[in-house]
Amino acid sequence: MAVMTPEDCATSRAPGRLIRRINKVMTGLVAMRFEDRDLSFEQWIALKTTHEGMVGNAGELARELDITSGATTRMIDGLEARGLMRRVRDGGDRRVVQLVVTEAGAEAVQALYPRVVGMWNEVLAGFSEAEVHDLSAALVKLLDAALGIAAQAESREAAE
Query: Residue 97: is its pLDDT beyond 80?
Result: yes
* 95 band by pLDDT with thresholds 50, 70 and 90: confident
Residue 73 has pLDDT above 90, yes or no: yes
pLDDT for residue 93 is more than 90:
no
pTM of structure: 0.85
> Average pLDDT, stretch 7-36?
90
The CB-side HSE value for 149 (13 A sphere, CA atoms) comes to 5
C-alpha R_g of the chain: 19
Where does 73-160 show beta strands of DSSP type E? 85-89, 97-101
Is residue 10 over pLDDT 90? no
Domains of the chain and any CATH numbers: 12-125 (1.10.10.10)
Q: Average pLDDT, stretch 77-105? A: 92
pLDDT band at residue 14 using 50, 70 and 90 as cut-offs: confident
Q: Confidence band (pLDDT; 50, 70, 90) for 23? A: very high
Cα–Cα distance for residue pair 119/33, rounded to 1 Å? 8
Helices 15-32 & 41-51 angle (0-180, nearest 10): 100
Q: What is the pLDDT of residues 123-150, one digit of tens each?
A: 999 999 999 999 999 999 999 999 999 9
Evaluate if residue 2 carries a pLDDT over 80. no
Is residue 96 pLDDT above 90, yes or no? no
Beta-sheet pairing, 97-101 with 85-89 = antiparallel
1 pLDDT band, cuts 50/70/90, is low
**Burial call 118-152: b when 16+ CB within 10 Å, e when fewer:** ebeeeeeeeeeeeeeeeeeeeeeeeeeeeeeeeee
The mean pLDDT value for 66-89 works out to 96
User: Quick one: pLDDT at residue 94?
Assistant: 76
Secondary structure element (H or E) that encloses residue 58, with its range: helix 58-65
Give the C-alpha distances (Å, rounded to integers) separating 145 from 62, 127, 149: 22, 25, 6
